[in-house]
Amino acid sequence: MGKKFYHASHFKHTLKKRSYNRYKRLEPLIKDDSLRIQSHLKPADPTLFKYWRFRRNLFSKIDSNGIYMTHELWFSVTPESIASFFANFVRACIPDAQVILDVFCGGGGNTIQFAKQFPKVFGVDFSLEHLYCTAQNAKVYEVDDRIWLKYGRWEKICAQEYFQDINVDCIFASPPWGGPNYLKKDVYDLETNLQPMGITKLLKSMLKISKNIILFLPRNSDLNQLSSVTRKLLGDKAKCKVLYVKENGHLKGVVAIWGDALVNYENGSTNNTENNKSTDDQDETDQKDIIPASFYDMDA
């Protein structure tokens, strides 16, 4: 492949061979196996208990005791049923898609579900620990042979035009929201709070690679900002579709969608065969108005 990707099925081996310094940084964690989750044991930090209680929603295979997580992943990993919905949605909208890019892949919650649907999935993260978790977790879900991992800052990867000559059918990202404090303000400012860059810069960087983009964002995101960034970067006629995503009746976040194939998807049911989920996407959004968001209810 020429470029420096680590194949998830031999992540440790390639890291050691090609990036020894990085491997040395990760080695203590590999040796003491401290990121491996023993499902029945509560995390040491009491602030994580609420996430641990719902751990089987994060990874249904967590009881295998083969799932790996960091402190940050407990509160930022996308619950499996939601990640599965995203993958099924893309599959329904772009049936012949081959390549998906997950920009902040974290522990692989989304990467793994995409790899269940598509032959090639790239995962990018600026945390070696997270990449290691993704690789390990992908093994549990038996999709590690379809996942290629790239270590680095997204800004730098973009500057190097790393994905420019790869035909990426869809980009997905659940960027860092800044931790559980994201709800402290009524409205989440997507320009100043989103990490590692605001929504305008992030979307701009992604549009250079693919026109089909999905972002999983805080439930209190400023929808006016989504509207204006769409207009600014894609023109007055462009559309951004926003769905509210619920799980067990509880609102988890919003998903912002760009690209004709995704936005104009009419059917309204993505046939999520595994989870028997359906989507209510009746409201296509027009960027001229405050975006009316439709609801995607995991319980529907």
Interaction site with ligand MGP (CB under 6 A): 75-76, 78-79, 174-180, 182-183, 250, 252-253
Nearest residue to ligand MGP by CB is: 177
**Shortest spacing between CB 266 and ligand MGP, in angstroms:** 28
Which residue reads 């509880």 in tokens?
A: 250
Closer CB to ligand MGP, 15 or 255, in the complex: 255
**170 within 8 A of 213, measured Cβ to Cβ:** yes
CA distances 70 to 127, 230, 273, Å, are 10, 34, 30
- Classify strands 241-247 and 170-173 as parallel, antiparallel or unpaired: unpaired
Q: Which is nearer to ligand MGP, 24 or 250 (CB)?
A: 250
Q: Which is nearer to ligand MGP, 38 or 47 (CB)?
A: 47
Q: How does DSSP assign 38-95, residue by residue? A: -TTSPPSSGGGHHHHHTHHHH-TTGGGT--B--HHHHHHSPPHHHHHHHHHHHHHHST
We find the least distance from the C-beta atom of residue 7 to ligand MGP, in angstroms, to be: 24
Task: Give the shortest CB-198-to-ligand MGP separation in angstroms.
Answer: 15
Whole-angstrom distance, CA of residue 70 vs CA of residue 129 = 7
| Bridge partners, 171 (sequence order) | 101, 213
- Smallest distance from ligand MGP to CB 246, Å: 10
- Least Cβ distance, residue 251 to ligand MGP (angstroms): 7
Q: Where are the alpha helices (DSSP H) in 193-222?
A: 199-207
Residue 115 CB, nearest approach to ligand MGP (Å): 18
Task: Map tokens 């976040």 to a residue.
Answer: 253
How many Cα atoms within 13 Å fall on the side-chain side of residue 59? 33
Nearer to ligand MGP, 179 or 196 (CB): 179
Question: Which is nearer to ligand MGP, 15 or 52 (by Cβ)?
Answer: 52
Closer Cβ to ligand MGP, 162 or 177, answer by number: 177
User: Residue 89's closest CA among 170, 180, 174, 176?
Assistant: 170
